[in-house]
Structure formats: structure tokens, C-alpha cells
Amino acid sequence: MTLKAHILLGAPGSGKGTQAKRLVDTFALTHLSTGDILRDAVSKGTEIGLKAKAIMAEGKLVDDDTVNGLVFARLLDETRDVLFDGYPRTLQQAKALEDFLSSKGLELGMVVNVDVPQDVLEARVVGRRVCSNNACGAIYHLASKPPKQSGICDLCGSPLKHRSDDTAEAFRSRMGEFNSTFQPLLGFYRTRPTFRSVDGHRAPELVFDSLRQIFGARA
């Protein structure tokens, strides 16, 4: 049987990571996130892993070619179908993956975008409040998970704070940057026959039902 590489796409905050974990458990896939692959290669001390480590030590983003090299090495070790989460991140990575798969006789599987409107993502971020006591770190949301007493942590009684990363301005700036690489990537995959989009603005259980149907029906 030909190994297939499935891909889950989505913006930060779309709930993609949670859904990926459930999918790999349900369908016996190998979960491959770029972060895990990087950490794994660094800890094994492979040549490309050491290169990635040096780049990260300088506080830089690991370049596409290095990420691709790490991912491809991992893919060749796999015996089960894989689910990528956070890879490909750029159009260059997507094209390189396609070339790699066809050169090895592997197949692109399902490519599923967990679609959440940007204003919904913004509301999720902007309503977030965190406990100011670092040892506690409890997270609340003004709409979906309010504290019992306004502005006070239920667990430790410390004041809640609104992080500077969680303001609308910070969110819009991050999303602008994200979309400049994500939209071309999405455009590339939209034309593929195995591309699907699911409505991610629903309860996680319902989003997972849609994903289960898509992955359950895959050839």
C-alpha cells in the first residue's frame, strides 16, 4: 500500500492542533508537526538537525530547505500514513513536498482546511484573560469561560490580565503576516482533487464529525 501524506491546514487559533490529535488516534496516522520533527532531529544530532539547531540558536526561523530536508527524512522512516500539522507552511514547502512525494512514489492524501472567519478568531483572542500569577496561569475568556467574579482568578484569587499579545492590534498584525504566506498556500491546495474545507466555527465535536467523515471516506 502506498503511504499517503495528509495535511491539516488552518490559522493559529482555528483548533487545528486539537483536531489533528483526535484524527491520528481515530485513524491510526502518524502525527507530524514541524516543531516535533525539529526537536526530534536536534535531539538525535543528525547533520541536518545540527544545522537546524544552529539556526534556531541564532533566533532565526529555520529556512524552507532545511525544514523540507528534515520532513523528508522523517517521511522515509514512516510506515503508516501521516498527518501533517503546521507543514507545509509556505508555498515553496508545498511545491517541494509535491515533488518529493512523486519522486518516491508516495501520495498526497486529503488536504483539509479548518476554516474559521477572521473576526471569530479575533474575538477568541481579544476576549482572553490570563491569571497574573505565573505559578497559576489559568486562562479565561470573557464570553466562553468567564471567571465567577469579574477580573479575579477562580483558582487563586489573583487579578486577571489582558496580555499585550491578545489585543486586536497585535492580533491583526500577526494575521496579516500569517495570511501573506497562508493564502498562496491555500490557493495552491484548493485546486487539488483531495482538497476539502470544513467549517471550524462550530463546537469542536461537530468539527471533528466533519473531519471523521472526510477521512473515513478517503480512498
Catalytic hit among 4, 89, 124, 129: 89
38-46, 56-64, 121-129, 133-141 -> range binding Zn ion (CB under 5 A): 133-141
Cell of 160: 486577571
Catalytic hit among 4, 16, 124, 129: 16
Q: Shortest distance, CB of residue 146 to Zn ion, whole angstroms?
A: 14
Sign of CA dihedral 47, 66, 87, 173: positive
8 A C-beta contact, residue 38 and residue 62: yes
Where b means 16+ CB within 10 Å and e means fewer, 82-112 reads bbbbbbbbbbbbbebbbebbeeeebbbbbbb
Catalytic status, residue 89: yes
Catalytic status, residue 174: yes
The single residue among 73, 126, 136, 170 that binds Zn ion, judged by CB under 5 A, is 136
Among positions 112-131, residues that touch Zn ion (CB under 5 A) are 131
SS3 state at 99 = helix
Q: Shortest distance, CB of residue 130 to Zn ion, whole angstroms?
A: 9
What does the alpha-carbon distance between residue 154 and residue 133 come to, in Å, rounded to a whole number?
12
Residue 136 burial (10 A CB sphere; 0-12, 13-18, 19+): middle
Among positions 32-71, residues that touch Zn ion (CB under 5 A) are none
Among positions 155-214, residues that touch Zn ion (CB under 5 A) are 155-156, 158
- Select 17 or 147, whichever has its Cβ closest to Zn ion: 147
- Choose among 109, 101, 83: nearest CA to 4: 109
27-35, 137-145, 164-172, 197-205 -> range binding Zn ion (CB under 5 A): 137-145
Q: Shortest distance, CB of residue 155 to Zn ion, whole angstroms?
A: 5
Q: Binding of Zn ion at residue 152 (CB under 5 A)?
A: no
Binding site for Zn ion (CB under 5 A): 131, 133, 136, 138, 153, 155-156, 158
